[in-house]
Structure 1
Amino acid sequence: MKYPKSIIRCLLGLSLFLLSFGHGLVSEAANTLPPGLVIGDSDGIHATSEGEYYVDLVDILPGESYQKEITIRSLDLEEPFSLGLLVEEVSSSGSVLWKDHITLTLVLDEKEIYQGPLLGNGEFDWSKTPLELGVCTYGTDKVLLATFTMDSALTNEDLREQSRLEFYWTFVGTKDQQPIKPTEPSTSDSSTPTVPSDSTSGPGRGTLPAAGGTPHTSGSGKRLPQTGEEMVYMFLSGLLLVLIALFLWKKRREEEQG
C-alpha cells in the first residue's frame, strides 16, 4: 500500500503551509500602530500604519540646518501606548558619507532627547534600540522637532559629485501594561508590570517591538495579545479538517472504482 505514505506527506505539507499562512496574518496584525495614533508633519507627510516615516533632505549646503516639526496626535486610543523611534540606513553613495556629516538634534515637547550623528553616536544605537518618545494617552499631542545640521567643514571638493543617503524612521510601540490599582493594601508582586516614565530615554530602557518579526513577549514572559489570532487558528483548523475529509473521500472513491 503506497497510499498511507502519500497521505502523510500531503498532510504534513498542507499543515506547514497553513501554519505559515496563519503566522503571517498574526504577525501583520502585530506590526501596525493603533488606528487612533496619527503622526505627521507640517509638509503633509504622515507615517504609514506600519510606522514608517520618510525624511527628505534636498539641496542643503554645508553649515545649513533643516527642521522638521512632527506632531504625534493621540485621537482615539483606548489604552496608553508606549512609543519609540528606530532609524535604518537603506543605502549610501557618492563622495560624502552623509551619515558622518549630519548632526541630528531631537527635541520632544521642548526637551532635548538626542543630539549626535544621524544614525547613532556609538554609545546609543537607535537602529537596534528604539529611542523612547514616552507614553501616548487619549486626547494628547506630542511635538517632535528634528533639526538636521550639515557639517560646515565640507568643501566644494568634497561635493564634487552627487552624494546620496537613504534612510527612514520607524515609529514602533507596544501597549502600556499598567498595574491594576488594588482596593486594599497588599504585598508587592515582582511580576506586576510598571508604567514607563515619560521623561526617560536611552538604551537603559527595555526595547520596544519593531515593525516586522514575530509576536513579542512582555517582561513577565507572557505573550502580548495578538489581534484576531484566535479566529485565525480556528479558521485554519476548520479548513485543514475539510481538506483531510475531501482527500480521504477521494481516495475511497478511487479504491471503489478500481
Structure 2
Amino acid sequence: MKRKNWKYTIIYVLVVAIVSLILWPTSTQAQSKELPQGMVIGDDQGIFVKKNGKYLVEVNDVMPGKKWHTTISMINMEKDTPYSLTMLISKPSLIAGSLDLSTAIQMKITYENEIVYEGPVSGINLTQNLQNTALELGTFKAGDSRAMEVDFSLSGEYTKKDFSEKNVMENVWNFYAVKTKSTDSNEIENNKPLGKLPQTGEEWRQTILYVCLGLFLLLIVLLFGKEKRKKK
C-alpha cells in the first residue's frame, strides 16, 4: 500500500511541476538593465533614451483633430559589437482628466517601410499587445542606423465635454539591447555547436517541461506494465 501511495505521489509531483511550468510567467526577451554606451536612441525633438532604456511619451492638452509625427533614430556606435534591439511599451503610469488619452489617441508605428503597429497609444490593439510582447527591431551591427516613424492622432469627433478637465497621459517605452555574436546566418549555422545547451530562460523552461513530460509518460508506462504483469 505504501509503494502504491509512493507511486501516486511521484505522479502528483510531476503533474504539479508540468502545470507550474505551463502557467509560469515568462519574459518575452532577455532584458538588459542598461543600454550599451554606443547604442544611441533619440527623437527629432532632441529627447534621447536614457541609459536604462526608458523613453517617456508625454501628452498634455491635446485637442480634437490634432495630428503629430515623431521620428525615433537608432544607431549602434559600438565597435565590432552587434546588438539585437527590442522595444516594449509600459502600462501608462499617469492618466488624468475627463478623457482617457491612452485609448483615445491613435498611434501608427512604421519601421523599415512596414507598419508594425497601429492602434491606441497604450500599445494594445486587437492583435498585438506591446505591453507584454516586445516589438522586434532587428540586429544592429557596428555603424548600423535605422529610424522608427511614429504618427499620433486624436479624432475630431470628441466634444468640449471630453475636455472639461485637463487631459494628461504619460507612459514609458523601454528599449532593450542584447549582444549577439553574428548577424550572418551562414556563419551562425556553420559555427553552431552540436548539443547546444539552452541559452535563455524561455529555452530552459521548455527543456525542463519536456523532461517532466517525458518522465511522466515513462512512469505511466512502467506502472501500467507492472499492473499487467501482476494480473498475468
- State the match for 2:163 in structure 1: 159
- State the match for 1:100 in structure 2: 103
Shift of 1:125: 1.4
Is residue 34–residue 77 contact of structure 1 (8 Å, CA) maintained in 2? no
- State the match for 2:133 in structure 1: 129
Map 1:1-258 onto structure 2 (within 5 A): 30-88=32-90, 89-119=92-122, 120-178=124-182, 180=188, 182=190, 189=194, 191=196, 217=200, 220-221=203-204
The 3-state SS of whatever aligns with 1:182 is helix
**Offset from partner CA, 1:182-228 (integer Å, 9 cap, x none):** 38xx9x957489xxxxxxxxxxxxxxxxxxxxxx9366549xxxxxx
**Offset from partner CA, 1:55-110 (integer Å, 9 cap, x none):** 23344321211111111011125322111111111021211011121111011132
Which whole-Å CA distance do the structure 2 matches of 1:110 and 1:180 have between them? 27
Shift of 1:117: 1.1
Which whole-Å CA distance do the structure 1 matches of 2:63 and 2:175 have between them? 28
Whichever structure has more helix as a proportion of its residues is 2
Is residue 95–residue 163 contact of structure 1 (8 Å, CA) maintained in 2? yes
**Offset from partner CA, 1:136-156 (integer Å, 9 cap, x none):** 111111101111111222111
TM-score, normalising length: structure 2:
0.64
Which whole-Å CA distance do the structure 2 matches of 1:127 and 1:37 have between them? 22
Which whole-Å CA distance do the structure 1 matches of 2:146 and 2:38 have between them? 14
Which whole-Å CA distance do the structure 2 matches of 1:155 and 1:71 have between them? 35
The letter of the residue matching 1:153 is E
RMSD over aligned Cα, in angstroms?
Answer: 2.8
Which whole-Å CA distance do the structure 2 matches of 1:101 and 1:111 have between them? 23
Is residue 63–residue 149 contact of structure 1 (8 Å, CA) maintained in 2? yes
Percent sequence identity over aligned pairs: 26
TM-score, normalising length: structure 1:
0.58
Moved over 6 A (4+): none
The letter of the residue matching 1:133 is L
The letter of the residue matching 1:68 is T
- State the match for 2:6 in structure 1: none
The letter of the residue matching 1:96 is L
Shift of 1:130: 0.9
The 3-state SS of whatever aligns with 2:132 is coil
**Offset from partner CA, 1:28-58 (integer Å, 9 cap, x none):** x940111110001121100011110122334
The 3-state SS of whatever aligns with 2:102 is helix
Is residue 40–residue 47 contact of structure 1 (8 Å, CA) maintained in 2? yes
* Runs of 5+ consecutive residues of structure 1 not aligned to the other structure: 1-28, 194-215, 223-258
Q: 1:169 to 1:118 in 2, by over 3 A?
A: same
- State the match for 1:246 in structure 2: none
Which whole-Å CA distance do the structure 2 matches of 1:138 and 1:60 have between them? 39
Q: 1:166 to 1:102 in 2, by over 3 A?
A: same
The letter of the residue matching 1:60 is V
Which whole-Å CA distance do the structure 2 matches of 1:85 and 1:168 have between them? 10
